[in-house]
Homo-oligomer: A and B are copies of this chain.
Amino acid sequence: MSVLIVGSTALDSIKTPKAENPKLLGGSASHAAVAASFFSSVKLVGVVGKDFPRKYVTLYKRHKIDLEGLQIEEGQTFHWSGEYEVNMNNRRTLLTELGVFEKFTPHLPENYKTAPFVLLANIAPSLQHHVLDQMQKPKFIVADTMDLWLNIAKADLITLLKRVHGFVLNDSEAHQLTECDNVFAALKKIHKLGPKYVIIKKGSHGSILSSPEGYFICPAYPLHNVCDPTGAGDSFVGGMMGYLATARGSIDANIRRAMIYGSVTASFCCEGFGLKKTTTIKRADIERRAKDLEKLTRF
């Protein structure tokens, strides 16, 4: 089965203490779509400007990503520029040029509307709503978000949470949303807002799922060298949704393994700037690290 993914499609200029990388392919939908493509077919919804490099269209196509829902508009592609500190944990935004993204309204092609799996990657909650308005009863909907929407569009996000099966956010966002310092107390509060499955991402500390079957403590893959963590969270949820879309059986039966695949796909993302490393790997590389994670957690 296929996954519909909506989110930002952007050009990222990323500075770290070691290097500068102008206008890499970025955005939540790009990272999530490439990650999901290792497991299932992907239908992308996004917007780019006329300046969007042809090589990035080729990259999407190499990953067999359906681009019928990618709008190409007069103007500039969303451009984000950021800088990481030495420890790779603190990120500072240098520049945000919204370009065509400012007036983005996602229009779904007819054959997108029946996609059984929907990933509402990080984008304004109003646009996430707008995508759901056009869908015909998807089987499993997951939403991601970011601190910005908690600051400026919390009401929209709260109503969205009643419409999704799964919700993914990081630990500081969970704290911001619930005012709980304790992650398990936060999970409890978030369930009350709607989602049956809640996943809290903790970066290099892994992630935690709370579901009808209880908690799952999902490890991060051990990395000796993190090159650029941009898009790791999107890769995580993209890989997870891609795996879920093709796995047989119930969500409950598959979601733990899906998170492991997401975690592994995210680990590759961290090892190169933008999508540089992720686009060099094969499914077999993902399988290898998933097996490693099994060994690293068994006792």
Query: Which of A's residues lie within 8 Å of B, judged by CB?
Result: 86-89, 181-185, 188, 202, 204-206, 208, 214-219, 222-226, 256-257, 259-260, 294-299
- Minimal beta-carbon separation of A238 from chain B (angstroms): 18
Q: Which residues of the other chain, B, contact A226 by a CB distance below 8 angstroms?
A: 182
Contact call A297/B86, Cβ cutoff below 8 A: no
Contact call A217/B181, Cβ cutoff below 8 A: no
- Minimal beta-carbon separation of A104 from chain B (angstroms): 37
Instruction: Given A86-B181, A87-B181, A181-B87, verify A222-B216 contact (CB < 8 Å).
Output: no
A188 nearest CB neighbor, chain B only = B224
A226 to B185, CA, bound (A): 11
- Minimal beta-carbon separation of A35 from chain B (angstroms): 18
Q: Which residues of the other chain, B, contact A296 by a CB distance below 8 angstroms?
A: 214-217
Contact call A216/B299, Cβ cutoff below 8 A: yes
A242 to B195, CA, bound (A): 42
Contact call B214/A184, Cβ cutoff below 8 A: no
Q: Which residues of the other chain, B, contact A257 by a CB distance below 8 angstroms?
A: 299
A80 to B256, CA, bound (A): 44
- Minimal beta-carbon separation of A186 from chain B (angstroms): 10
Most buried by B among A88, A89, A205, A225: A205
Contact call A184/B217, Cβ cutoff below 8 A: no
Q: Which residues of the other chain, B, contact A259 by a CB distance below 8 angstroms?
A: 299
Identify 15 residue pairs between A and B in the complex whose beta-carbon atoms are under 8 Å apart, listed by A's number: A86-B181, A87-B181, A182-B223, A185-B224, A188-B224, A205-B205, A208-B222, A216-B296, A216-B297, A216-B299, A217-B296, A219-B297, A256-B298, A259-B299, A297-B297
